[in-house]
Structure 1
């Protein structure tokens, strides 16, 4: 029977996993390589080997209500989109509130994780750790790997002819910290993800010239959505997900394109995605279109080749002088402390059931947490993964047969265009609500909206038409939280609190009531006349 659990990493996934273990009465020991918790969201001026790195100005792309843990809302005075320091503060508050720190061994690296000699009967693991240059071996009943996928830069220099002759400087976006390095320089950013665009926008305030090279293009959107509300609280609802998943793929693609282009015409700005049959993660940046229209940033096609002091783009013979190249080309990942037989990574993906379990392990006591790119905040996803995994460890939830798991894995690997709903451009990307609901259903935490409607119609409507916040998964099932209902009913209050800092009396509030009364009168009149 599983009792002791080794957890690798004390970032968002690691903290959620510690708490999930404690909820199930397990004994977690978390090994953290650095001297503090927080993982990606802990800013440091230096780059740590094997650890995620972020730049000073990073702001979250998911708002606080959508990225909160399910039983711990953010303080109401926190801004909706959080600078990295605020997220780090929230993680500290979370760890303190649930007394998680005492389960973490800091400055302790995991060297190797191997099956115990009697793994076939016990499912146990030998875990070798290193601290102060001393190694120690321990036996654990189960292991949760929470190291993420943002620590190993993907930098295929061989695909950029001439880069070795380039006399300027070049580096991966992982090594960027502050924009002063671009002062007076001519800058090229290769790649158009969120980091690449953020860096280009920052560089444009100091550089002589900034260009972004993209072969695929991308949809760009603002964090500020309809009526000034956070984009994800408007877009990520159960109702909207039902609509998207019920319509043919081409219609969904057209709807997304139409919605994105309401802000500005992406074709006119050189941004429109090349393949619109699949959804690439949109770029969330409030400044990009204004920087393009004012000439601070220029969008260019794929790089054809580099020269000593310049670059030539595809379908062009003209040389563009440049001084610095930033490769925002994403990340790959590996697990050097695990044998390849336990987890094989190919083409930046791994064969894991629900992105978590190796289907061929006789005992499902090894789980990979957070190796997924959901189209939403990661905190709700990894928290539910942890809650399910710990119940699998205890034998309270069972995995399906190996053949069933492999069939699902192989179907995902093929990443075929879906007839209905959204198709993503990478295997690791997934539709958030569909995935999270499936995990929640395994542990009995998925809310039954229809049944709830007959007991509490107000709450049911909030759940169905309102934002799909993580509090939904604490209304019922194991780990039920008494504050979940109130958290859902007050989520818009916490959203508006930090922005309504200047409240004035609105003299026009009486007018909408008159319009509503007139509308009701007109409706009743129409019904009455219709029966005449």
Structure 2
């Protein structure tokens, strides 16, 4: 039986998967739709930086170059690091660039009973024990031709923060079709060349819809370009906890949350009685740490003044990866008036711009950018040709934890 391995995506996970598959003696093929490695890090706005200190965001067997002094490297510095990693471990020859996977199908003779009886492979049985073959339809994005590749094992490294933007839906007559300006998603804005993006926002009245990292970065970039003459307005529904860095009153945030002991503080689905008991007994500590961080952030930033105090705990945000590190001089921009913040549970479009909170006067706007996230489940579901696998992604009502 052949043991062909295919990997979809050459971002961080794809590079890591390829490196380990090579180490155990296989010769994988990696399909990458772009013309280079890096995944979402190839498409960021100019000012985007790593949120983590670089020491907490590196391969265990390939540290950052000692000459790099920045604690939080830029997106270009991260791409350079990833390229060095790929060159060092001879990963590049296994990557087929400009190769977009259109769909994946599992082909087996007879019925589909084998697929219906599968559970997710957990690494404790043979990865090549099935009778069928994966058929991977790949489009050459340069020649616009397609080819079908076969493999016995497929590793998906496609991520969830790209490909399928989450665009709000509006009633008829209240959507972007009535707006005379331009509307786009942060995914499309981030994909622009830096010069093109700068020209797009220059001297424009920009509204950014969202409250997390992309929204904050884009708003700051617009404020840097236009100042108080054309302030950028952030329209947010839910405030999230924001950080300046990982130093919380002299304590590294990693010592509070990003370690194995901190995992004991949180209840998890399917946990044993002992782990449940430990998490329960440590609940006062869990509550105290969260309150300490929240108090520190409320004292450090003018969150109350601008209506940015979240209605939920810091623990909830960091557990769901919804905290964000502020761009440089964010609150200085808010204070001077080049960034305006509007809280809104609903808004709609009109000819001149946006109607926020049903206010009689519209927010006059030239450009609206949705920083409203992605549909990761739809992206993963769409790559499978078989409805059986699509249903696996949907999950069932009694699932302990949904895939998305």
Q: TM-score w.r.t. structure 1 length?
A: 0.59
Q: Which residue does the alignment assign to 1:341?
A: 387
SS in 2 for 1:325: strand
Conserved? CA contact 1:157–1:163, under 8 Å: no
Aligned to 1:137: 148
Would the aligned equivalents of 1:113 and 1:337 in 2 still touch at CA under 8 Å?
Answer: yes
Offset at 1:94? 0.6
Specify which of 81, 88, 101 is matched with residue 92 of structure 2: 101
Q: Which of 50, 56, 67 pairs up with 1:60? A: 50
Task: Tell whether the 8 Å contact from 1:222 to 1:231 is kept in structure 2 after alignment.
Answer: no
Residue of structure 2 aligned with 1:222, choices 241, 244, 248? 244
Give the C-alpha shift of residue 229 in structure 1: 8.4
Partner of 1:371: none
Residue of structure 2 equivalent to 1:125: 134
Q: Which has the larger radius of gyration?
A: 1
> Structure 1 stretches of 5 or more lacking a match?
43-52, 352-405, 414-426, 429-532
Q: Match for residue 205 of structure 1?
A: 224
TM-aligned CA distance change 1:123 to 1:71, over 3 Å:
farther
Measured after TM superposition, the shift of residue 31 of structure 1 is 1.5
What is the match of residue 326 of structure 1? 369
SS state at 2:245 partner: coil
2:355 corresponds, among 312, 327, 330, to 312
* Structure 2 residue aligned with 1:112: 103
> Following superposition of structure 1 onto structure 2, how do residues 10-25 of structure 1 map, counting pairs within 5 Å?
10-25=10-25
Q: Give, in angstroms, the shift of residue 161 of structure 1.
A: 3.0
1:175 is aligned to 2:183: no
- Post-superposition shift, 1:242? 4.5
In structure 2, the partner of 1:283 is 324
Check if 1:29 corresponds to 2:29: yes
C-alpha displacement at 1:170, in angstroms?
1.7
Q: Aligned match of 2:400 in 411, 415, 430? A: 411
**Is the 2:107–2:135 contact (alpha carbons within 8 Å) kept by the matching residues of 1?**
yes
Alignment check: 8 A CA contact 1:3 1:27 kept:
no
Partners of 1:200 and 1:232 lie apart in 2 by: 28
Paired residue for 2:298?
261
Per-residue deviation, residues 238-261 of structure 1 (Å, max 9, x unmatched) = 445545753257556534422432
C-alpha change, 1:254 and 1:2, in structure 2 (3 Å) is farther
Which one of 68, 78, 90 corresponds to residue 87 of structure 1? 78
Deviation of 1:227 (Å): 7.2
What is the CA–CA distance in structure 1 between the aligned matches of 2:222 and 2:251, rounded to whole Å?
A: 28
1:412 is displaced (CA, Å) by 2.7
Deviation readout 1:324-363 (Å, 9 max, x if unpaired): 21111111132434124353379xx754xxxxxxxxxxxx
CA distance in 1, matches of 2:309, 2:188: 28
Greater mean alpha carbon deviation, residues 93-102 or residues 23-32: 23-32
SS in 1 for 2:102: strand
* Contact persistence 1:311–1:320 (CA under 8 A): yes
1:381-396 equivalence runs, <5 A: none
Report the more deviating stretch, 58-67 or 330-339: 330-339
Aligned-partner Cα distance in 2 for 1:112–1:321: 42
Summarize the Cα distance change of 1:81–1:343 in structure 2 as closer, same or farther, 3 Å threshold.
Answer: farther
Distance 1:128 1:188, change over 3 A: closer
Change in CA separation of 1:308 and 1:68 when aligned onto 2, cut-off 3 Å:
same
Tell me the distance in 1 between the aligned counterparts of 2:204 and 2:98. 39
Q: Does 1:156 align with 2:168?
A: yes
Q: Secondary structure at the match of 1:331?
A: coil
Instruction: Look up the SS of the partner of 2:170 in the other structure.
Output: helix
**In structure 2, what is the Cα distance between the partners aligned to 1:136 and 1:306?**
43
Could you tell me how far 1:97 is from its partner in structure 2?
0.9
Q: Partner residue of 1:76?
A: 66
Counterpart of 1:247 in structure 2 is 283
Q: Which runs of 5+ in 2 are unaligned?
A: 115-129, 267-278
Write the distance in 1 (CA, Å) between the matches of 2:299 and 2:388. 47
Alpha carbons 2:248, 2:293 under 8 Å: kept: no
Please tell me whether the aligned partners of residues 215 and 301 of structure 1 are also in contact (alpha carbons under 8 angstroms): yes
Q: If the length of structure 2 is used for normalisation, what is the TM-score?
A: 0.76
